[in-house]
Amino acid sequence: MTSFKTNQFLPMIKQSRHVLVTVIAVFFFTSLILIIAGAPPLAAYYHIFKGSLGSWLKFAHVIKAWIPLTLCACGLIFTFRIGLWNIGIEGQVMMGAIFSTAALRFGLESQMPAMIISLSIAAGLVGGALWALIAGFLKTKGEVNEIFAGLGLNFVAQGIILWLIFGPWKRPGVASMSGTEVFPTHLWLSQLASMRLSPPALAIVCVSLILTALILRYTKIGLNLKAIGSNPSAAYLFGLKPARNMVLAMIFAGGFAGIAGSLQVVGVYHRLLPAISSNYGYLALLVAMLANYNIWLVPPVALFFACLNVGSIQLPMALQLDSSLSGVIQGALVLATLGIHGWRQKRAKTIGHRA
């Protein structure tokens, strides 16, 4: 048992090194783009840094982005572990938000707001999990690739949100892209007044991280996911059921994504918005990949992404760059991540051949 534990640290160090290489590549790519765009890279980085970590308030903004990113990445670790590409995570976030909003609307008149808020987060979990379940069944029963199923379901979820905002849940008077009516403050998740940061949300993220780590490490579910993800046909011979475990992994991913969507409603926007998911699901795919599917590398990587995301909002104002540049930088980030990922896999393959 002891040797098993100590052996865990060496790969951790190796993985951290890979992350570092990726980060350097990301900086190289983004610098290149900044130079092409005519902006001094160092000044740009300075502004991104200042814009994300320059004050407690800005850091609070970063944490607000970090929360859904980390939650979604937690869920994605489950699906990646069994070899599924859960692109549908974006729709699962949206469904979480929808279910959560529905629960809050149901409890508008309630005398027990704390219970309604808890109920709403639980509803978000269920909504995300159900949406993921559809993709899971399409994959296992209908032989539909989870990437296409997820992508399709993302559009459907977005459609449902728009329909709700402009239809049944529209504001009294005029429906608008700014979303449904804001909920009364007693249905807001409690916040630190000065920083608009919510301790319960942070607590949920911490619990999610620990729970994910424990499930993957110590439960049969975690071992089964790893076995099936590494070799489904051998795992089947060992008596495991690949289809059932795939659906299970999807439920976990959808559940965490649903909570993320729910927290965006009860903790951040206090209403349903068309862009409630803010692409955090897609970004979380990159977080999980960059973290090399290691749960303990997820929080720092998610923080890095959140900093870039929040900090680059400053660029147009500070350096008179076109506002689309922040999108370009994020795109470069994506490419660098994928590039390093592919390179690492190719290297692993050639090393495997040599052995």
Q: Which is nearer to another protein, 3 or 320 (CB)?
A: 3
Per-residue mark of binding to another protein, 181-220 (x: CB under 8 A): -------------------------------------xxx
Q: Which is nearer to another protein, 105 or 241 (CB)?
A: 241
30, 333 contact by CB (below 8 A): yes
Using rule CB under 8 A, residue 226 touches another protein:
yes
Chain centroid offset of residue 73 CA? 5
Residue 251, amino acid: I
Using rule CB under 8 A, residue 242 touches another protein:
no
Using rule CB under 8 A, residue 241 touches another protein:
yes
SS3 (DSSP) at 191: coil
Question: In angstroms, rounded to a whole number, what is the distance separating the alpha carbons of residues 167 and 247?
Answer: 33
Q: Which is nearer to another protein, 193 or 237 (CB)?
A: 237
Using rule CB under 8 A, residue 231 touches another protein:
yes
Cα Rg of the chain (Å, integer) = 21
CA-closest candidate to residue 93, choices 68, 56, 74: 68
At closest approach, how far in Å is the CB of 1 from another protein? 5
Q: Considering only residues 160, 240, 318, 328, which one is a binding residue for another protein as defined by CB under 8 A? A: 240
Q: Considering only residues 31, 86, 100, 224, which one is a binding residue for another protein as defined by CB under 8 A? A: 224
Using rule CB under 8 A, residue 1 touches another protein:
yes
SS3 (DSSP) at 197: strand
Question: In angstroms, rounded to a whole number, what is the distance separating the alpha carbons of residues 64 and 203?
Answer: 13
Which residues have C-beta within 8 Å of that of residue 225, sequence separation ≥ 6?
Answer: 78, 81, 82, 216, 245, 248, 249
Task: Please tell me the count of residues contacting another protein according to CB under 8 A.
Answer: 26
Residues that bind another protein (CB under 8 A): 1, 3-4, 7, 218-224, 226-227, 230-231, 233-241, 352, 355
